[in-house]
Amino acid sequence: MAGAGRLATTVIPAGVLLAAASVLSPVPVRADETCMSPFMPKITGQEDYVYVWTLGVEGLGDGFDKLVTVDVRPGSPTYGQVISSVSVGGRNEAHHGGFTDDRRYFWASGLDTSRIFIFDIHTDPGKPRLERTIDDFVQATGGVVGPHGAYALPGRMLMSGLSNVKDEGGRTALVEYTNDGKFLATHWMPTAEDPRGAQIEQVADGYGYDQRVLPRKNVMLTSSFTGKANYMMDFGKLVQDPEAMKRFGQTVVLWNFHERQPRKVFHVPGAPLEIRWAWGPDHNYAFTTTALTSKIWLIHEDAGGEWHADPVADIGNPADIPLPVDISLSADDKTLFVDTFMDGKVRVFDVADPHAPKQIHEQKIGAQVNMVSQSWDGKRVYFTTSLLANWDKKGADDEQFIKGYDWDGRELHHRFTIDFKERQLGRAHIMRLGADSLYTN
């Protein structure tokens, strides 16, 4: 790959943003998606593109997974339209992805084939191209299966696995690569049999899903989902299989980040998925939500430096299993968006008091909804639909789209919809935001 190059003057280091937050508060910091790694440069202004990692569907277009680019430049003649699509030549259960720390490359993974696709974003941000493919993930990592989230570290990418080659269960690991795609290390999750020095609160299942770092406290959190035997199973069959339903994660692990050493395994039953750290310089806490028990959990540090995990709010009626799947925390740490797949809704919570979230808005986005991404200034919100190929709804309820909205602090106002089935693109999954101004010649 090419060198890092020079980022445009709109880029602001994360540390500068955090300092500005403390000086200028209560004026909110304008930064990109708050789920982004703190090791990446943060940027201000209007996003130009939404990149959508999309699952191929046999009979729709070429049938392959692809990275789709949507134009969201205000005033553009192609605003709210697809302007680029690059296929990877197969179906891999496209799922999550992320930028390298210099934002020049986008890593996207396939949960079925364990392949990783690296796209060049910087050469022409409106038309990404596939740079290379990593095909030996399972062999290089010592048996990890299902590369999931790609998280930027300085000069490195940290990949979470979801499974293993031995039994396709949830036992898995974190994996490190260089930005050029060279394998560096495998860090297996702690289990009851091999706690790796961690204090176990109740159980240690060894499962993985998301990973997020709070550098100033030298802590990392990882969450837990399920293994390949479950995530590749038809959803209707899965929920009717009592043994399969037992094989979901119920832990969040607190790590010493620098040493990659697990410190404490929290009991968080119900498959805790996305993790979002607060951005405030004195806000030592993060949120996650549990898919099967429909709760918001707070992982927080007390005055004595001890960390705790506590349920702080229900999401809808947990008895209905609305299945919360993705969350987005605003840059000022005051608002949390929560998507629930089964009822196709987004619920917005006031989390100014993180110990007592209060729902302030609820809106149906579609028959099903999965991912949510906020813009850099918190004024725009985007939604996509696909959860997993075999878990998405059937028939007319299998809607596949990206929708863009404006957010005025109280309500969402629809701006555009792109029907991915109508456009023969496939199943719209994770989104990431991009801008021409990030790069100079």
SS (H, E, C) 284-315: CEEEEEECCCCEEEEEEECCCCCEEEEEEEEC
Q: Which H/E stretch holds residue 24?
A: helix 14-24
User: Closest Cα partner for 315 from 286, 352, 351?
Assistant: 351
For residue 148, what pLDDT band results from cuts at 50, 70 and 90? very high
Q: Which CATH number fits domain 11-192+276-292+312-438: 1.10.760.10, 2.120.10.30, 2.60.120.260, 3.90.950.10?
A: 2.120.10.30
Domain boundaries, the chain: 11-192+276-292+312-438
Residue percentage of the chain with pLDDT more than 90:
87
The pTM of this model reads: 0.92
Per-residue pLDDT averaged across 126-135, rounded?
Answer: 98
| Percent of the chain with pLDDT strictly greater than 70 | 91
What is the arithmetic mean of pLDDT over 296-313? Answer: 98
Average pLDDT on 77-91 reads: 98
**Taking a C-beta distance cutoff of 8 angstroms, is the pair 290, 314 a contact?**
no
Whether the Cβ atoms of residue 39 and residue 61 lie closer than 8 Å to each other: no
Backbone torsion region of residue 143, taken as left when φ is above 0, otherwise alpha when ψ lies between -120 and 50, otherwise beta:
left
pLDDT attached to residue 14: 43
Strand partners, 164: 144
| Number of neighbours of residue 413 by Cβ within 10 angstroms | 11
Please give the average per-residue pLDDT across 247-262, as a whole number. 98
Least confident range of 104-118, 250-264, 426-440: 426-440
255 token code pair: 């790590």
Handedness of CA 231, 115, 107, 390 (dihedral sign): negative
Q: In sequence order, what are the beta bridge partners of 285? A: 300
Q: What's the rounded mean pLDDT across residues 75-99?
A: 97
Q: Specify the DSSP class assigned to residue 437.
A: G
Average pLDDT, the chain: 92
What is the Cα–Cα distance from 425 to 86, expressed in whole angstroms? Answer: 10
Q: What is the mean pLDDT of residues 308-325?
A: 97
- Separation CA 309–CA 16 (nearest Å): 29
Q: pLDDT tens, 408-440? A: 999 999 999 999 999 999 999 999 999 888 876
Give the residue from 210, 221, 206, 137 showing the smallest Cα distance to 172: 206
376 pLDDT exceeds 80? no
What pLDDT, on a 0 to 100 scale, did the predictor assign at position 5?
34
The arithmetic mean of pLDDT across residues 137-163, rounded, is 97
The mean pLDDT of 200-210, rounded to a whole number, is: 98
CB neighbour list of residue 64: distance below 8 Å, 6 or more residues apart: 56, 87, 88, 89, 90, 91, 426
Q: Decide if pLDDT at 149 tops 60.
A: yes
Percent composition of the chain: helix, strand, coil (DSSP 3-state, to 5):
10, 45, 50
Model pLDDT, residue 205: 98
Q: Would you say 111 and 387 are in contact if contact means Cβ atoms under 8 Å apart?
A: no
Residue 35 has a pLDDT of 79
Per residue in 6-60, pLDDT tens? Answer: 333 233 344 433 333 333 333 333 336 777 899 987 666 789 999 999 999 999 9
pLDDT for residue 44: 62
- Above 80 in pLDDT, residue 286? yes
Average pLDDT over residues 241-251: 98
Q: Has residue 344 got a pLDDT over 50?
A: yes
CA angle, 388 then 205 then 182, to 5°: 65
